Structure 1
Amino acid sequence: MNRAPPCAWPVARLSRRGLLSLMSGGLAMGLVSGPGRADVSSLAPVSYVVEDEATYERALSYAARLTRSALVYVGAAWCPICRTLERTTLRHHGVSSLLQSIALVKIDVTRMDGDSKALLHRFGVEGPPTLFLVETRSGREHAHTRLAGRVPPQDLIQRLRPFAG
């Protein structure tokens, strides 16, 4: 039986909540599908959905292999502004073209459990939606990149542009 090399396997277990898969030539990690869970894998070649700090750290570690920066997006299924942001701003052609070279890490706080609250506290986020850019190797937030609430595509493009490429 011919076995594909490990780098070509379509799915490998990452954590009890996450999966690692190869999509669109890049890495994409997402939660097992469920009602209300937004799939961000179509928004960027390197995209992750995380719900706890350990999985966030693994996502950054994987992203650091492929990109220098990541857009961290804190969102929730119950957040109407988040749903609009995912349908419009994140799918805007200017944003999506910049996300070809910037990883997208969605912190899903839908459950608002202890893990969600720990992530919100860690990043000083009051609630969704919040977006900011980090350096993937260090996890350090880039200064003056944080946006919260309704975000027009041009505002996000302005924040992403210096880190693309």
Structure 2
Amino acid sequence: MRGDFFMKVPYRTCLLLLAALHACGVLAAGSMETPEGELQPFQPIATAAELDAAVAAAQKAGRRVMLDFYADWCGPCHQMERETFADPGVRKALEDYALLRVDISEIDDADETLLERFAVAGLPVMVFYDAQGLELEECQLVGFADAEAFGAHLVKCQG
């Protein structure tokens, strides 16, 4: 079962610990500046129903989906923004994707439902769907990936 180990520790506890480490300066968020040539904006997702509707809309349009789990206090999330998503090759590769984002900076019950649904135990996490709206579980990406590794991951997941 995916994420079986992490099912024993409440998600909120793990993520609050990460937030506390960030607040103490152990995890640095880095710059919040948006790079030039910005990637298409991420559509915010707050609930499982919003996610399901967005995936259905992408499916109807024949688009793949990337769902990004993000938090303001997550240093590697900001690193993905600055380095990976700012890369021209990555931006080009993601042009045909519907980009969705769950911001768990302040975790609520709806966030926890989504975290449990995808067995998210740390950030960043990117979940991918094909153009038929099917989650590609084997393509879930956990942690920071530089532009080269991220691009290779996209190619692998596109089959």
TM-score (norm 1): 0.65
Q: Could you list the per-position Cα deviations for residues 71-116 of structure 1 after superposition, in whole angstroms to 9, with x for gaps in the alignment?
A: 1111111211111111211121111001111221112111211111
**Structure 2 match to 1:85:** 80
**Higher helix proportion, which one?**
2
**Structure 2 match to 1:59:** 54
Q: Which one-letter code corresponds to 1:94 in the other structure?
A: G
* Secondary structure class of the residue paired with 2:135: coil
**Structure 2 match to 1:157:** 151
Query: Is 2:30 the counterpart of 1:44?
Result: no
Out of 123, 145, 151, the position equivalent to 1:128 is 123
Counterpart contact for 1:82–1:128, Cα < 8 Å: yes
**Structure 1 match to 2:69:** 74
* Secondary structure class of the residue paired with 1:121: helix
Q: Which has the higher contact order (CA 8 A, sep 6+)?
A: 2
Query: Aligned equivalents of 2:113 and 2:69: distance in 1?
Result: 13
**Higher strand proportion, which one?**
1
TM-score (norm 2): 0.68
Out of 104, 107, 110, the position equivalent to 1:112 is 107
Change (3 A) 1:44 1:65: farther
Query: Aligned equivalents of 2:61 and 2:118: distance in 1?
Result: 23
In the alignment, structure 1 segments of 5+ residues that lack a partner are 1-35
In the alignment, structure 2 segments of 5+ residues that lack a partner are 1-31
Query: Aligned equivalents of 2:97 and 2:119: distance in 1?
Result: 22
Aligned length: 123
Counterpart contact for 1:76–1:108, Cα < 8 Å: yes
User: Displacement of 1:143 after TM fit?
Assistant: 4.5
Query: Aligned equivalents of 2:109 and 2:85: distance in 1?
Result: 27
User: Displacement of 1:127 after TM fit?
Assistant: 2.6
**Structure 2 match to 1:32:** none
Moved over 6 A (4+): none
Query: Aligned equivalents of 2:121 and 2:157: distance in 1?
Result: 25
